[in-house]
């Protein structure tokens, strides 16, 4: 049984849940931080997803890491 994924305001489990994303939702990864991805949904909402529940291609993951480094 598929479960919705919680889109959070901050990259931690105690953070407010902004939205519930249906299983297999597609998102754009904007950056990454300590096991979390900052993403943008197809509807334009931004928030954090735990990386352990996100499946990404290697190309997309490499792009997210580059963006994350450029923000530091």
Determine the average pLDDT of the residues in 29-55: 95
pLDDT of 55: 87
pTM of the model: 0.76
56 confidence band (pLDDT: 50, 70, 90): confident
Give the DSSP per-residue string, 9-72: SSSSTTSPEEEEEPTT--EEEEEEETTEEEEEETTS-EEEEEGGG----HHHHHHHHHHHHHT-
Q: What CATH class has 5-70? A: mainly beta
Beta bridge partners of 21: 5
- How many angstroms separate the CA atoms of 64 and 69, rounded? 9
Residue spans per domain, the chain: 5-70
72 confidence band (pLDDT: 50, 70, 90): low
For residue 58, pLDDT over 70 is answered with no
pLDDT digits (tens, 9 = 90+) for 24-36: 898 999 999 999 9
């Amino acid at each position: 049984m598929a479960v919705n994924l919680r889109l959070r305001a901050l990259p931690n489990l105690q953070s407010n849940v902004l939205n519930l994303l249906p299983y297999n939702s597609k998102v754009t990864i904007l950056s990454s931080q300590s096991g979390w991805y900052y993403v943008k949904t197809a509807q334009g909402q931004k928030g954090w997803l735990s990386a352990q529940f996100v499946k990404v291609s290697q190309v997309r993951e490499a792009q997210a890491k580059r963006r994350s480094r450029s923000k530091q």
